[in-house]
Chain A
């Protein structure tokens, strides 16, 4: 055995160095490199997704800007409340009262009135969601031609956007100068005060 004793040192040397090398490389360096590779891959993937989202955001921002520019060129604006968190009744009565005032001021008589909040088929409700408050009002009116004409003109001239959905007119059988009118109008309002959009 003594003749092999000289190899003890070199065996010990190799064992220690190999052990340390294994621990250092296989258990310390490689896991870190693997982890970095995984994280880098994840970063690349997330970065690609983020780039797509950024592109979408830019598209949205451009559209918003376009909307704002378009809105700025509009003859009329959608009514915007002056305070935040205005409830739907407040928004409704502001426009509704103006409409009723216009009807009364033109001596048009209201035979019947019905209204619906945020009708699902309306595009503002469908696409704008909580951004808008919409009220669909169906009026049954009695008037003569001139009175109705003034009412339509007043609505047309109203400083905020009100859409005249339809007007169906029939003369009254017993007096052709009396018109029976079914008028549908849509009142629009923002739910929050409108500032500058991002």
Chain B
């Protein structure tokens, strides 16, 4: 999980009075976790580090001596060379704005032969008649050299600010000033070389003036304080303010004594960022040298908290900007809108996106699981019902066939029985005289065979039987004379005598067959197959 731990920025401040200061501050608890200081010569005339090689060696020794691991981001504070507040046309393009700043900076001795690295912050929006900007500048080559060096040593620079703004940030951070947005107040910063009168409106810069002062221990207090008072009093007299905050960053001037010399009454506060301080500006953690911490500057605190304090700052200066070219560009993570693609942000973003995707997938899958369960239940029900119906259809397979109907079969059978009974009865009751039966078949077909001594009786009987049910299809299939003798054979000449033939037949009655059977079988003398000539 250490991977996700945010690295605590280390603040490094170049302090003309103390040297090199290094501090780490726990932003949430306002506690100084680590603090160290090393001497460093500063050239007040050139406004730069006197010996850059000495700086390199000292700062790395200090960092390693304090146990600051490589990879720790560095927020650098450099003494202010110039800090200006001015009004500019609201719609002025960025390029022309920078040109305007450069034109002002060229008047400054430091930047007459040194290229400036500028950072500007808009203090008001673009809707007003003029737009107020605050800007500051440092020697570009020096800053590039420091940034490259820190990076080579494994301490990437993430922010650069100057003393004026770092001091204000530290004061606001530790509630050192009571800010009311609509009331003017003045912060007076005194160093061994300059006095800065910074007019504020709430937490926003309003105006800034810088006076070069020449003070020193050898001059005596009276002269030193008189010099400072003479430098700042004209501004304090002219500028409106409700409250005065005096910050002394030099051991030559005590803020409290200076206030007495100024002779103002009203709301006046003093901050001793020097040897007059009675204690450290912030509480210190165990292991931090309290005596050293007592002398700790506001600048190094402002540098240490810079990254975390940026969202609360009305003037979030950062000279580690695009003006440094590839040094800055290479260090900047990719951005998409307000999202910065740092490794930590990417991992957190990936986790959030992944959770969203998983949540969406779950939101899709869960109802689908339910739907699948419902479908499976439906399949089960369908299969159960199908099995039941199949069993039912198998059980009643005979019903599904169109060939069989129990009731119809019974009804047909009963009709058949009635026919059998009826024909049997009719045959028995309708027989005329001189007619007798030789066979009676009552089944699928009705066949009545008999004999009679005259044709009239046969026809009468047939008519009576047929009248019972004319649709039965009964017909008189055979009606012929009965014969028990052989026919007289023909003579050799092929002649015959008709009377002789009739006499030879000895026929004295007729045979008949009544039936509704249509098939004829030739081998049976023209009678239906199941009709057997009984020869009676």
List chain A positions with a Cβ less than 8 A from chain B. 2-3, 6-10, 12-13, 16-17, 20-21, 24-25, 28-29, 32-33, 35-36, 39-40, 42-43, 46-47, 49-50, 53-54, 56-57, 59-60, 63-64, 67, 70-71, 73-76, 78, 123-124, 126-129, 131, 145, 148-149, 152-153, 155-156, 161-171, 176, 184, 186, 198
Contacts and interface: CB of A to CB of B under 8 A. Distances in A.
B361 A29 contact: yes
B375 A78 contact: no
Contacts of A70: 405-408, 411
Contacts of A28: 361, 365
B440 interface: yes
Contacts of A2: 330
A121 to B, nearest CB: 13
Contacts of A127: 398, 401, 403-404
A67 B399 contact: yes
Interface string B353-385: 110011011001100110110011011001101
Contact of B410 (A3, A42, A50, A78): A78
Contacts of B345: 9
Contacts of B350: 12-13, 16-17, 20
B65 interface: no
Contacts of A16: 347, 350-351, 353-354
Contacts of A47: 382
B442 interface: yes
Given A152-B420, A166-B442, A168-B440, A67 B406 contact: yes
Contact of A149 (B361, B408, B410, B428): B428
A152 B442 CA distance: 11
B436 interface: yes
A54 B389 contact: yes
A9 B346 contact: yes
Contacts of A17: 350, 353-354, 357
B4 interface: no
B434 to A, nearest CB: 14
B357 A123 contact: no
Given A20-B354, A24-B358, A167-B440, A9 B407 contact: no
Of residues A21, A54, A198, which shows the largest number of chain B Cβ atoms within 10 Å of its Cβ? A21
Given A32-B365, A39-B375, A167 B398 contact: no
Interface in B380-402: 382-383, 385-386, 389-390, 392-393, 396-401
Nearest to A173: B536
B425 interface: yes
Contacts of B409: 123-124
Contact of B413 (A56, A145, A163): A163
Nearest to B442: A167
A44 B383 CA distance: 12
A128 B398 contact: yes
A131 B398 contact: yes
28 contacts: A7-B334, A13-B346, A13-B349, A16-B351, A16-B354, A17-B350, A20-B350, A20-B357, A20-B358, A24-B357, A24-B360, A32-B364, A32-B368, A36-B375, A53-B393, A54-B389, A57-B393, A71-B406, A73-B407, A131-B398, A149-B428, A155-B417, A161-B410, A167-B442, A168-B441, A169-B439, A169-B440, A171-B437
Contact of A126 (B344, B404, B441): B404
Contact of A35 (B330, B346, B372, B408): B372
B406 A124 contact: yes
A133 to B, nearest CB: 14
A139 B34 CA distance: 128
A165 B410 CA distance: 13
Contacts of B425: 149
A63 B444 CA distance: 28
